[in-house]
Structure 1
Amino acid sequence: MTITQLYYVLAVAENQNFTKAAEKCFVTQPTLSMQIQKLEDELDILIFDRSKKPIELTDVGKKIVHQAKNIVNESYRIQDIVDQQKGFIGGEFKLGIIPTVMPTLLPMFLKAFIKKHPKVKLKIEELTTEEIISRINDGHLDAAIASTPLENETIKERVLFFEPFVAYIPKNHRLHDKKNIDVSDLQIEDMLLLEDGHCFREGVINLCKVFKNHENDNFQLESGSIETLVKLSNEGLGMTMLPYLHSLDISEKHKNNLRLFNEPNPAREVSLIYHKSELKMQIIDALQNTISGIIRGAIAFQNVKIISPLATK
Structure 2
Amino acid sequence: MTITQLKYVLAIAEHKNFTKAAEKCFVTQPTLSTQIQKLEDELDITIFDRGKKPIELTDVGRKIVFQARNIVNEADRIQDIVDQQKGFIGGEFRLGIIPTVMPTLLPMFLNNFIKKYPKIKLKIEELTTEEIITRISDGHLDAAIASTPLESDNIKERVLYYEPFVAYIPNSHRLRDKKTIEVDDLDIEDMLLLEDGHCFRDGVINLCKAFKNQTDDHFQLESGSIETLIKLSNEGMGMTLLPYLHTLDIKEKLNSNLKHFKEPSPAREVSIIYHKSELKMQIIDAMHNVISGIIRGAIAFQNVEIISPVAK
Superposed counterparts of 1:47-62, under 5 Å: 47-62=47-62
1:254 aligns with 2:254: yes
Name the CA distance, whole Å, in 2 between partners of 1:121 and 1:52: 37
Superposed counterparts of 1:98-247, under 5 Å: 98-247=98-247
**1:262 offset after TM fit, Å?**
0.2
Name the CA distance, whole Å, in 2 between partners of 1:71 and 1:215: 46
Name the CA distance, whole Å, in 2 between partners of 1:233 and 1:118: 42
CA-to-partner distance for each residue in 1:133-190, whole Å, 9 max, x for gaps? 0000111100000000000000000000000000000001100111101000000000
Name the CA distance, whole Å, in 2 between partners of 1:84 and 1:61: 34
Name the structure 2 match of 1:270.
Answer: 270
Gapped runs of 5+ residues in structure 2? none
- Secondary structure at the aligned position of 2:96 is classed as strand
RMSD over equivalenced CA pairs, Å: 0.5
Name the CA distance, whole Å, in 1 between partners of 2:247 and 2:226: 10
The alignment covers a number of residue pairs equal to 312
CA-to-partner distance for each residue in 1:30-57, whole Å, 9 max, x for gaps? 0000000000111111111111111111
The TM-score normalised by the length of structure 2 is 0.99
- Secondary structure at the aligned position of 1:34 is classed as helix
Name the structure 2 match of 1:72.
Answer: 72
**1:217 offset after TM fit, Å?**
2.5
Superposed counterparts of 1:14-33, under 5 Å: 14-33=14-33
Q: Which amino acid aligns with 1:179?
A: K
Percent identical residues: 82
Name the CA distance, whole Å, in 2 between partners of 1:265 and 1:218: 25
Q: Which amino acid aligns with 2:175?
A: L
CA-to-partner distance for each residue in 1:175-213, whole Å, 9 max, x for gaps? 011110100000000000000000000000111111111
- Secondary structure at the aligned position of 1:192 is classed as strand
Name the CA distance, whole Å, in 2 between partners of 1:136 and 1:209: 30
- Secondary structure at the aligned position of 2:150 is classed as coil
Name the CA distance, whole Å, in 2 between partners of 1:254 and 1:130: 33
